[in-house]
Chains A and B, each alone.
Chain A
Amino acid sequence: MFRAIKFTLSLLAALTANFSFGAWDDLNMSPGATQLSQEIFGLHMTVFYVCLAIGIAVLLAMAFILFKYRKKEGVEPADFDDSTALEITWTVLFALILIVLAVPATSVMIKAYDNEEGDINILITGHQWKWQYEYIEDEVGFFSNLSTSLDKRNNLAPKDENYLLEVDEPLVIPTNTRVRFLITANDVIHSWWVPDFAIKQDAIPGFVNTGWTYVNEPGVFRGQCTELCGQYHGYMPIVVKAVSPEEYSTFINDKKEAKIQQALLTEKLWSTSELMEIGEATYQKNCVACHQVGGRGIPPVFPSLVGSEIVMRNKARHIEILMEGVQGAAMASYAEQLTEVEIAAVITYTRQAWGNAETGDGKIVIPKEILDYKTNKL
């Protein structure tokens, strides 16, 4: 038996020797970037050490017993089978250990549920499969999509250290400010988790949950969705950028400016090639997941856009689908997620691409038409 143990250990050593040193860094969670996360980390380590001690004690006791009481010639086993005193002792002892653990656990819990007001409030909405962030006081908002390329995911390009943990638009928050998060979902249950803040709250459709944080130092913090929400559950990460309050103000002002610019853009005159360029980019970012790179989709769940009747000959219905989604199907409404320019561009692109322009009517759509649809002048 001991030879077996030695063999196992050397096998394990051989296997693990090849791992980069990095593997050993990831044995534990990080203390995180806030006071609360550090308190939770401390609690975690305390409970861990207690459990480790208990575990080692039990395993050592076992090892001792297994070795010492192996069947030996001429040695009879004892026949005692009861001891109320012993039962009570270890029951009480174990209960005391747990009570001792319950005390810090309770106090950290109370801190986590702190209801103090937030200086800024951010509404976080989970969608299939992206996050939406809206700054309530400033009335600006945006969607945050995974930005890791398909090539990397399909092993056609090398992966970097933020593989699957990068987004196009991170959530920006100011340091030294109490930030309150209001978390909900648009379709199924998601969950918003940033390990460095020790915040994890389920995003439940129809209900609002709260979280809060207070970050002292600037930094970039990454998290993931932690509730199975459909096929791309693993592809909707969270990136939070904590910046100085000054930088944050600049960011908000930029967003407000952009909102105004967007409105202006909608009114300008667009050429087909401009629309096609934006349309293709929009398609790559928002549509390939379901309708695929060549537009063929995965019928019947994700219809093909190549040679589709609607795409080729029914512009009105095409616009309607983008603006309202399809009842009972996975196609969501993109009216909130994309700008008028992007919607017009992506419709134009799909109506022109993949030979659709040759076989269909090849009609283009301009942003003004989308705005008109929204204000119902169409």
Chain B
Amino acid sequence: MKAQKSTLKLILFTFGMFGFGFALVPLYDVFCDITGLNGKVTGPTITSYDQELSTREVKITFITSNNKQMPWSFKSSSPQMKVETGQDYLMDFTFTNTTNKPMIAQAVPSVSPGRGARYFHKTECFCFEQQFLEAGESITIPVKFIIDPELPKDIPSLALGYTLFDVTEEFANLQAIN
């Protein structure tokens, strides 16, 4: 009888740990959001700053990268930019679908150093949604951003990288399901 109670408790614990494994997924996201640990920042954030705050100059490097088998041309209009913290800025990115089929792309951002991610506020970004381009079509979209004046003094520059992924198939599947 006692043995049965032990067994039952242990079985429950097992399922609990399985659930914990899956809970690690949102937990990781929450942890990374709060700390900006993996350089990902999701969604638009604040749009303007109190002008009284002291500002400094920061160098921003823009990186564009294509994931495997994503043949689009993807470039920023300039590789670097010197900015003042607390001010709005804009950088244009040009996407060209160089294939002969319509495609859907997802740009995934990554800020380096990861610690700086939470100070890099994107007010408008093409990475918030997918980009659909017809064969041969080209589009230029800006990323609008503000660097938080509270960026720690020991981070003099930030790199914002975008990796472009082909998500045409995933969306086709979703369409099919709906």
A and B touch in the complex (CB under 8 A): yes
Pick the residue among A206, A210, A335, A378 that contacts B159 (CB under 8 A): A210
Chain B positions 65-98 with a Cβ under 8 Å from a chain A Cβ: 65-71, 73, 79-80, 96, 98
| Contact between chains at B155 and A115 (CB < 8 Å) | yes
| Contact between chains at B63 and A324 (CB < 8 Å) | no
| Contact between chains at B98 and A376 (CB < 8 Å) | yes
Interface flags, B46-72, vs A, CB<8A=1, else 0: 000000000000010101011111110
| Contact between chains at A117 and B157 (CB < 8 Å) | yes
| B113 at the A interface (CB under 8 A) | yes
**B-side contacts of A137, CB under 8 Å:** 79-80
| Least CB distance, A142 to chain B, in whole angstroms | 15
| B135 at the A interface (CB under 8 A) | yes
| A226 at the B interface (CB under 8 A) | no
Q: Would A333 and B71 be within 8 Å (CB), given that A186-B66, A374-B98 are in contact?
A: yes
| B163 at the A interface (CB under 8 A) | yes
Pick the residue among A210, A325, A327, A333 that contacts B112 (CB under 8 A): A210
**B-side contacts of A184, CB under 8 Å:** 63, 65, 110, 161, 163
| Contact between chains at A336 and B66 (CB < 8 Å) | yes
CB within 8 Å: A-B pair count = 100
**B-side contacts of A320, CB under 8 Å:** 99-100
**B-side contacts of A92, CB under 8 Å:** none
| B145 at the A interface (CB under 8 A) | no
| Contact between chains at A207 and B38 (CB < 8 Å) | yes
| Contact between chains at A205 and B112 (CB < 8 Å) | no
**CA A376 to CA B138, docked complex, whole Å:** 11
**B-side contacts of A312, CB under 8 Å:** none
**A-side contacts of B165, CB under 8 Å:** 206
| Contact between chains at A208 and B71 (CB < 8 Å) | no
| Least CB distance, A124 to chain B, in whole angstroms | 11
| B136 at the A interface (CB under 8 A) | yes
Pick the residue among A117, A139, A206, A378 that contacts B59 (CB under 8 A): A117
**CA A111 to CA B50, docked complex, whole Å:** 34
**CA A210 to CA B39, docked complex, whole Å:** 11
| Least CB distance, A329 to chain B, in whole angstroms | 9
| B44 at the A interface (CB under 8 A) | no
| Contact between chains at B69 and A206 (CB < 8 Å) | no
**B-side contacts of A206, CB under 8 Å:** 67, 108, 110, 163, 165
**A-side contacts of B70, CB under 8 Å:** 333
| A323 at the B interface (CB under 8 A) | yes
| A109 at the B interface (CB under 8 A) | no
Q: Would A186 and B65 be within 8 Å (CB), given that A115-B156, A205-B163 are in contact?
A: yes
| Contact between chains at A207 and B80 (CB < 8 Å) | no
- Determine chain A's interface SS by DSSP, over half rule: loop
| Least CB distance, A132 to chain B, in whole angstroms | 9
| B170 at the A interface (CB under 8 A) | no
**A-side contacts of B161, CB under 8 Å:** 182, 184, 207-208
| Contact between chains at B66 and A182 (CB < 8 Å) | no
| Contact between chains at A187 and B66 (CB < 8 Å) | no
| A87 at the B interface (CB under 8 A) | no
**CA A335 to CA B73, docked complex, whole Å:** 10
Q: Would A332 and B68 be within 8 Å (CB), given that A210-B112, A320-B100 are in contact?
A: yes
**B-side contacts of A327, CB under 8 Å:** 69, 166, 169
| Contact between chains at A207 and B110 (CB < 8 Å) | yes
| Contact between chains at A115 and B113 (CB < 8 Å) | yes
Q: Would A208 and B110 be within 8 Å (CB), given that A117-B59, A325-B68 are in contact?
A: yes
| A25 at the B interface (CB under 8 A) | no
| Least CB distance, B160 to chain A, in whole angstroms | 8
**CA A210 to CA B156, docked complex, whole Å:** 14
Q: Would A324 and B67 be within 8 Å (CB), given that A137-B79, A373-B98 are in contact?
A: no
| Least CB distance, B78 to chain A, in whole angstroms | 10
- 12 chain-A/chain-B pairs, Cβ below 8 angstroms: A121-B159, A125-B65, A136-B61, A137-B79, A184-B110, A186-B66, A186-B68, A207-B39, A207-B110, A208-B63, A326-B69, A376-B98
9 closest pairs, A vs B, by CB? A208-B161, A376-B136, A325-B69, A187-B68, A208-B110, A208-B112, A117-B156, A207-B110, A117-B157
Q: Which B residues fall within an 8 A CB radius of A?
A: 38-40, 59, 61, 63, 65-71, 73, 79-80, 96, 98-100, 108, 110-113, 115, 135-136, 154-157, 159, 161, 163, 165-166, 169
Q: Which A residues fall within an 8 A CB radius of B?
A: 115-118, 121, 123, 125, 127-128, 136-137, 139, 182, 184, 186-187, 205-210, 320, 323-327, 332-333, 335-336, 373-376, 378
